[in-house]
Amino acid sequence: MRMTELWKGKELAGSIKAEAKKLLSTSNEPPKTLAIILPRGDASAADYASFIAKSGEKIGLPTQSIVVDDAKELFSALTQASADPQVGGIIVQRPYPQDVAEEDLQAKVPEEKDVDGISFTNLGRLFAYHPRYVPATASAMLRLMKHHRLPLKGSRVVIVGRSLAVGRPLWALLLREHATITVCHTRTKDLRAEVSRAEVLCVAAGKAGLITPDMVSSEMVVVDAGYNYLDDGSGPLGDCHPEVGEVAGAYTPVPGGVGPVTTAVLLLHAARAAVGVG
Amino acid sequence: MRMTELWKGKELAGSIKAEAKKLLSTSNEPPKTLAIILPRGDASAADYASFIAKSGEKIGLPTQSIVVDDAKELFSALTQASADPQVGGIIVQRPYPQDVAEEDLQAKVPEEKDVDGISFTNLGRLFAYHPRYVPATASAMLRLMKHHRLPLKGSRVVIVGRSLAVGRPLWALLLREHATITVCHTRTKDLRAEVSRAEVLCVAAGKAGLITPDMVSSEMVVVDAGYNYLDDGSGPLGDCHPEVGEVAGAYTPVPGGVGPVTTAVLLLHAARAAVGVG
């Protein structure tokens, strides 16, 4: 008998997209464009851009893709999009061209168009508890927890993964919710011991099956941001072994858990930027 | 018999100030001024400003105090100091006038003059592992640990306190050193249980005697950033009960531990800004 509560993201994602659509349809001015800057010749970046464009179309968000070859073209496109009053939000899609220094990008994406929350100012705002645009995956994880009315104040949370895209922003969001948080990573000596102490386990390690069922208890809520493809093409797989979804008290399935909420949050950010309320 | 190794800050502070002095004396251009904006009528802010001015004088750092009454005057002084090519660094001393929104200050202090590391951009840089100016107390704590060759990679660190001035920046610095870090605070359910698991305990809670000797073991390194005065005027007292300094494996005494290193770090930041290498 399955005891695990499955936290699917579809319903929450739907309500966030509805909020975005409403923002766009009730604005006095026509919505501005979301500019997506992406590297030439990367199939998955192109797929993602076209997925965002289609998702945007459904809610009334105009998008525009700009394909670039190298750092010079990327920063030229970025400068133009930053100055263009018709552009509301900007996404710079990974992988960046090899000659792009990420630091330059983080310094140059303008805060008010930075719907991915990658700029130093938006990261600093998050760190200082004055968030504006927050990286979407971290925001989606928190939203899923709140949607399920998970008590966070004083809770013992363990975050596995410390990326700038997920683990670190999630830490800031959850600290602001008064959780007691331990961040684990590749250098953590005894991952099992740390993880097993969690009341809430958030995983964003980018490693399929890293969290095994024996690390998890039936009391534990497990939020899995993993979305991994194996070399043989199989996937997407979470950072948790599939059996974790049968042991934990609650689990966000992969696919269908954090993922759809992340997309919805990104669209909401883009909608805010499009109507100038971000 | 005292077994605790006392980590006094004097020697390290001396070498940091020597580095600052050398920067100032070997610069081709005359050093620029450190502008200290402080509120009228606050004795401790005035004392601190005059302490920094005297300390600056000893190493060849020109300083200038600007006393302000309210937000309007503060932001006017800040705008002027930001634009003034003769000003290298800017400190906005607490307590801020009551009508100052801290968020405005964090948005407006220019990154390259922000020697206290309070701006969104400098906080974001720290969060993103591209630090420029880091809040001095957190930097001092890390420097003390490195000075004593404390292994941090994989170490279990517990930070008590999550202020934007100390706890959070220290978390970012130590995460970058690959420590496994738990941040505790007023909402943490079982502080004793969390603290007792630490190999390295960093305390910046602003509460005298919060950490009691029974929480600490002889294996533990305890870095205490507390500097508390009691209502009867006694102090400064650390966030650790005095007996912690007899139980822990190593302890930074208060006063004389983290404090002098913090001042030295701030002077080094100001020196860098003064000669334009920040």
Task: Tell me the two tokens of residue B94.
Answer: 């607490």
Average pLDDT over residues A95-124: 98
| CATH topology classification for B135-259 | Rossmann fold (3.40.50)
Residues A253-263 have a mean pLDDT of: 98
Q: Are B172 and A169 in contact (CB under 8 A)?
A: no
Residue A139 in this model has a pLDDT that exceeds 60: yes
Chain B residue with the nearest C-alpha to that of A184: B180
- Name the residue ranges covered by the structural domains of chain B: 28-113, 135-259
**A106 by DSSP, 3-state: which?**
helix
Portion 183-202 of B in contact with A at CB < 8 A: 183-185, 187-189, 194
Whole-number Å distance between alpha carbons of B212 and B201: 12
- Identify the three-state secondary structure at position A151: coil
Whole-number pLDDT of residue B84 = 98
Read off the pLDDT of each residue in B218-223 and give the average, rounded to a whole number: 97
Q: To the nearest whole angstrom, how far is the Cα of B223 from the nearest Cα of chain A?
A: 19
Q: pLDDT value at position B2?
A: 55
* Structure token digits, residue B184: 């505790």
Q: Which of A120, A129, A130 sits opposite B128 (nearest CB)?
A: A120
pLDDT higher than 70, residue B96: yes
Average pLDDT taken over every residue of chain A: 97
B21-39 residue pLDDT tens: 999 999 999 999 999 999 9
Q: Binning pLDDT at 50, 70 and 90, where does residue B3 land? A: confident
Arch. (CATH architecture) of B28-113: 3-Layer(aba) Sandwich (3.40)
Q: What are phi and psi of B76, to 5 degrees?
A: -65, -45
What pLDDT does residue A3 have? 78
Contacts of A189 in chain B (CB under 8 A): 154, 156, 180
Q: Measure in Å the smallest separation between the Cα of B58 and chain A Cα atoms.
A: 34
Give the chain B residue whose CA is nearest to the CA of A107. B121
Q: Is 70 exceeded by the pLDDT of residue B184?
A: yes
* Helix, strand, coil share of chain A (percent; to 5): 40, 15, 40
Give the distance from residue B127's alpha carbon to the nearest chain A alpha carbon, in angstroms: 7
CB contacts < 8 Å between A and B, how many?
Answer: 102
Q: Do domains B28-113 and B135-259 have the same CATH topology?
A: yes
In angstroms, the separation between the Cα of residue B173 and the nearest Cα of chain A is 12
Distance set, CA B257 to CA A271, B165, B214 (Å): 51, 18, 22
CATH of domain A28-114: 3.40.50.10860
Question: B168 touching A, CB under 8 A?
Answer: yes
Token pair, residue B229, equals 């005065």
Model confidence, pTM:
0.97
Stretch A190-216: mean pLDDT: 98
Of A120, A128, A189, the CB nearest to B180: A189
Question: Between the CA of residue B231 and those of B207, B228, B234, B236, what are the distances in Å?
Answer: 12, 10, 7, 11
A180 contacts on B by Cβ (under 8 Å) = 182-185, 187-189, 194
Mean pLDDT of A206-231: 97
CB of B71 within 8 Å of a chain A CB? The answer is no
CATH superfamily of A135-258: NAD(P)-binding Rossmann-like Domain (3.40.50.720)
Instruction: With a cut of 70, say whether residue B198 has pLDDT above it.
Output: yes
Give pLDDT, residue A2: 55
CA distance A6 to chain B (A): 27
Counting residues of chain B whose pLDDT is more than 70, the rounded percentage is: 99
Answer whether B166's CB lies under 8 Å from B183's CB: no
DSSP secondary structure of chain B: ---PEE--SHHHHHHHHHHHHHHHHS-SSPPPEEEEEEETT-HHHHHHHHHHHHHHHHHT--EEEEEESSHHHHHHHHHHHHH-TTEEEEEEPSSPPTT--HHHHHHHS-GGGBTT--SHHHHHHHHTT--SS--HHHHHHHHHHHHTT---TT-EEEEE---TTTHHHHHHHHHHTT-EEEEE-TT-S-HHHHHHT-SEEEE--S-TT-B-GGG--TT-EEEE---B--TTS---B-SB-TTHHHHSSEE--TTTSHHHHHHHHHHHHHHHHHHT--
Sign of torsion over alpha carbons B27, B28, B31, B32: negative
Interchain contact B130–A (C-beta under 8 A): yes
Contacts of residue A210, Cβ cutoff 8 Å, sequence gap at least 6: A160, A203, A226, A239, A240
| pLDDT of A1 strictly over 60 | no
- Residues A23-44 have pLDDT tens digits of 999 999 999 999 999 999 999 9
The residue among B264, B198, B212, B277 whose CA lies nearest residue B240 is: B212
Mean predicted confidence (pLDDT) in A151-179: 98
3-class DSSP assignment, residue A177: coil
User: How high is the pLDDT of residue A246?
Assistant: 94
A180 touches chain B (CB under 8 A): yes
| B126 touches A at CB < 8 Å | yes
Asked if A276 reaches chain B (Cβ–Cβ under 8 Å), the answer is no
Q: What is the pLDDT of residue A36?
A: 98
- Tally Cβ neighbours within 10 Å of residue A46: 16
Closest CA to A47 of A34, A39, A87: A39
Token pair listed for A122: 């938006």
Tell me the per-residue pLDDT of B125-179, one tens digit each, with 9 for 90 and over: 999 999 999 999 999 999 999 999 999 999 999 999 999 999 999 999 999 999 9
Q: Look up residue A87 and give its two tokens.
A: 């552009």
> Angle at CA B202, nearest 5°, toward B199 and B205?
140
